Amino acid sequence: MRVDVRGARLFDPASGLDRTADLLIEDGVISAIGAGLPHGDETVAADGRLVTPGLCDVHAHLREPGHTAEEDIDSGLAAALAGGFTDVCAMPDTMPPVDDPWLLRQLLARAAGKPVRLHQIAALTRGQAGQELAEMAGLQEAGAIAFSDDGHGVGRSDVMRLALQYAQAFDGLIVSHAEDPVLSGPGVMHEGKVSYRLGLPGQPRSAESSIVARDLELLRDVGGRLHVAHVSARETLALLAKGQSDGLAVSAEVTPHHLLLTDEDVAELGTLAKLNPPLRTREDRDALRAALASGLVDCIATDHAPHTAAAKREGMLHAPFGVIGLETAFASLYTELVTTGLLTLGRLVTAMTAGPRRIFGLAPAAIHEGALACLSVFDLETSWTVGPGTLRSRSSNSALLGRTLRGRAIGIITEGRWHPVDL
Ligand SMILES: [Zn+2]
């Protein structure tokens, strides 16, 4: 099987590549880059469209098994393809949670042969109950790429310490949903001026930063590798900077919604802005943007969290936390941060490709002769409006409904084939 891509803007910030050329892919490998290359069995007329290494999301909730009214592997990976992702890492907070090697293998087998590759994060503790470690070694052997009780903070410091210690036997990565459940309490949004005005219970920044501080001390104590999910508070960034400069193996991710929205949006968006960790202030948002630009944070993750419309109608106090994000992540960040000059295209692409792949130990994606072809293709000129009719996810709880975005994925290349987005 040969695929040729004509006249693409080939963009790979890792090597500094940014040129317009043709690309020939033979049996899944980039065999030639240049002008006037021979045609393959299939031709992609790129005509100046942007071709990047394949986008990789390390934090998606695909809801299978147990909550398939919200999403399943088929609809979730279709949403990922529409967003230009070639790789998606699913969180284990399903029903039952993915704390069992057999279940983990079943899920990976379900996704075999799909255009978007599924990777699975396994539960850190049995039943994600935070009390005793899951069968981590067996889970990693079954294909788990990391371990997390995402959805809940690990309240017990001794459990987190043991996990960091034990995972070193197989170089396991621990992903922390940093939340002190006692401090976050009944909070449904950021604690501050807006929560007081709306009369809603808030979560203080310290509910996140105090756990990150604890986990960094545990890393200092016993070693290990820690990745902090969905950072929201500026205090957390200061802790991460200190931890990294001290040589601790700590990384972090930010979500598009924390980069684009603030607690002020809760007044208008209601439960479509009910997130955990919550949207914080403009100062926090700007600090997250700066950390992404500087490379302190080298990973953007969607935290794609589908919920039914009925569940999101239950009001701020009772509706579940979370929004979907796979289909809008790249386009929304390109529109709001890159076209406005706040972030370079290179940083955006790096934090959605090389950064997450490096942290999670996934095969690198690069654009050069001899590399495995794992590519995303975008039309940066087109505009589209986010609406339930444009979304492939089974749920439409997007915080960006009604917004007009610039840039849209038109397809991906994986396993030696072109997979167009059905627009
Ligand atoms: Zn989480």
Dig out the tokens for 372 from the structure.
Answer: 């495995």
pLDDT digit string, tens, across residues 197-256: 999 999 999 999 999 999 999 999 999 999 999 999 999 999 999 999 999 999 999 999
pLDDT digit string, tens, across residues 281-321: 999 999 999 999 999 999 999 999 999 999 999 999 999 99
Q: pLDDT-based confidence at 273, cuts 50/70/90? A: very high
Strand partners, 225: 173
Phi, psi for residue 308 in degrees, rounded to 5: -70, 160
Residue 418 Ramachandran class (φ > 0 left, ψ -120 to 50 alpha, else beta): beta
pLDDT digit string, tens, across residues 3-37: 999 999 999 999 999 999 999 999 999 999 999 99
pLDDT digit string, tens, across residues 332-364: 999 999 999 999 999 999 999 999 999 999 999
Cα 227 to middle of ligand 1, angstroms? 12
Cα 149 to middle of ligand 1, angstroms? 8
Given the residues 41, 303, 379, 422, select the one marked as catalytic. 303
Question: Residue ranges of the domains in the chain?
Answer: 55-360
pLDDT digit string, tens, across residues 257-270: 999 999 999 999 99
pLDDT of residue 388: 85
Query: 126, 134 in Cβ contact below 8 A?
Result: yes
pLDDT digit string, tens, across residues 102-118: 999 999 999 999 999 99
Cα 193 to middle of ligand 1, angstroms? 24
pTM beyond 0.85, yes or no: yes
Cα 223 to middle of ligand 1, angstroms? 23
Reply yes or no on whether the pLDDT at 423 is more than 80.
no
Reply yes or no on whether the pLDDT at 65 is more than 90.
yes
Cα 239 to middle of ligand 1, angstroms? 19
Cα 414 to middle of ligand 1, angstroms? 29
State the maximum Cα–Cα separation within the chain, in Å, rounded to a whole number.
65
pLDDT of residue 348: 98
pLDDT of residue 407: 98
DSSP state string for 274-299: --SSPP--HHHHHHHHHHHHHTSS--
Cα 409 to middle of ligand 1, angstroms? 26
Query: 383, 423 in Cβ contact below 8 A?
Result: no
pLDDT of residue 391: 94
Dig out the tokens for 422 from the structure.
Answer: 């059905």
Indicate the average pLDDT of the chain. Answer: 97
Architecture per CATH, 55-360: Alpha-Beta Barrel (3.20)
- Indicate if 303 belongs to the active site: yes
